[in-house]
Amino acid sequence: MPRLSREEFSRNFSQNCSGTALTGNDFSVTNPAYHEIMYEYKFVRVSAKNKKGLVDITHCEAEIATQAKQGWRLVQILVENPPIIPDEYMIVLEKTL
């Protein structure tokens, strides 16, 4: 399979992917454009704060470990519209279909 540039991948991904809502804030995307290897993507929102209201990454660590046991691989952790102190993280996961 030829390697695509970022621009080609982004264009192809946005033109050929479809999304399906899962439970809660989870979202799954499949890409039918790639026939050799296809991935399913899952986006999971995780609180950035602990019970004391302090920013704490351990929620992400626990969620990533749980998802890894189900076959998901971490792609990226995002903060959407980042304020000075984030309220939640968006964990992007993928697995082969």
Comparing 62 with 1, the larger pLDDT belongs to: 62
- Establish if 15 belongs to a structural domain: no
- Establish if 75 belongs to a structural domain: yes
- Establish if 28 belongs to a structural domain: no
- Establish if 65 belongs to a structural domain: yes
Please give the tally of structural domains in the chain: 1
* Model pLDDT, residue 89: 85
pTM of the model: 0.56
For 45-85, write each residue's pLDDT tens digit.
Answer: 988 887 887 778 888 899 999 999 999 999 998 887 766 77
* Model pLDDT, residue 24: 44
- Range(s) of the domain holding residue 85: 37-97
- Establish if 17 belongs to a structural domain: no
- Establish if 24 belongs to a structural domain: no
Q: C-alpha dihedral over 67, 48, 86, 24, to 10 degrees?
A: 50
Contacts (Cβ under 8 Å, ≥6 apart) of 67: 42, 44, 74, 91, 93
